[in-house]
């Protein structure tokens, strides 16, 4: 389905992406690359029905080899900010006919702002808001190789996020909510072993899955 958008706002975001300047090897850099503006040219050009009909007339008179293709721009942005944000990091890469695990540490913050990756018309963000904040509450880590390994988790024990409950149950855009992560204790869980750990320990982990809850 193709919808007509104002070309002036079609690629605009809630916060200026150019001010972000993300550090390479960070979750911000991953999101920046995933939502970058792409040019579709040559063999990637899009079939343009409007251009084709303008040139050849009604669609029923057009032969398939006469369709007109045009250069275009494509960008993937968030149109609806979720109550709970789950980020899945691709931890493997193709090496010839083999897959190998990517062990590089990816930096991630306790509070992340999705505004630079949200469309300016994001459906559940109050008008005038230029921040869409999320607080980290869970991490899944994998140790080992592509053939074998072990999954462990970090979870934050914290007070209930009433604003998150309202967002899930009633769905109104949040207004003046907290902008700081909830205070609490982090725990490392490995099978039946549970141990209290510091936030710095969590942030230094080799994350595979990240779980954030909406603050603002």
Is the distance from CB of 183 to CB of 132 less than 8 angstroms? no
Q: Provide the residue ranges of all domains of the chain, joining segments of one domain with +.
A: 79-214
Residue 157 DSSP SS3: strand
Is the distance from CB of 74 to CB of 40 less than 8 angstroms? yes
Tell me the pLDDT tens digit for each residue of 6-62.
Answer: 777 788 899 988 888 889 999 999 999 999 988 888 888 888 877 777 777 766 555
Query: Which of the residue ranges 22-31, 125-134, 205-214 would you say has the lowest mean pLDDT?
Result: 125-134
Q: Specify burial of residue 214 (Cβ count, 10 A radius: 0-12, 13-18, 19+).
A: buried
pTM of the prediction? 0.80
| Cα gap 37→193, rounded to integer Å | 45
The fold for domain 79-214 equals Cathepsin B; Chain A (3.90.70)
Residue 213 DSSP SS3: strand
H-helix or E-strand spanning residue 149? strand 149-158
| Cα gap 214→216, rounded to integer Å | 6
Q: Can you give the pLDDT at residue 123?
A: 87
| Cα gap 57→113, rounded to integer Å | 48
């Amino acid at each position: 389905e193709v919808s007509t958008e104002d070309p002036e706002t079609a690629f605009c975001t809630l916060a200026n992406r150019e001010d972000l300047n993300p550090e390479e090897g960070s979750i911000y850099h991953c999101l920046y690359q995933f939502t970058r503006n792409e040019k579709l040219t040559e063999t990637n050009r899009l079939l343009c029905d409007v251009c084709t009909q303008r040139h050849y007339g009604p669609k029923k008179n057009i032969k398939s080899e006469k369709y007109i293709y045009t250069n275009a721009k494509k960008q993937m942005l968030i149109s609806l900010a979720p109550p709970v944000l789950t980020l899945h990091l691709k931890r493997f890469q193709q090496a010839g006919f083999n897959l190998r695990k990517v062990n590089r540490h990816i930096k991630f913050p306790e509070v992340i702002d999705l505004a630079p990756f949200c469309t300016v018309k994001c459906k559940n963000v109050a008008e005038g808001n230029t921040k869409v904040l999320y607080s980290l509450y869970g991490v899944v880590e994998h140790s080992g190789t592509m053939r074998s390994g072990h999954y462990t988790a970090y979870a934050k024990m914290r007070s209930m996020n009433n604003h998150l409950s309202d967002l899930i149950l009633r769905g109104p855009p949040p207004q003046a909510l907290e902008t700081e992560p909830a205070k609490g204790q982090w725990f490392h869980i490995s099978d039946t072993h549970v141990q209290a750990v510091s936030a710095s320990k969590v942030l230094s982990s080799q994350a595979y899955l990240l779980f954030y809850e909406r603050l603002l």
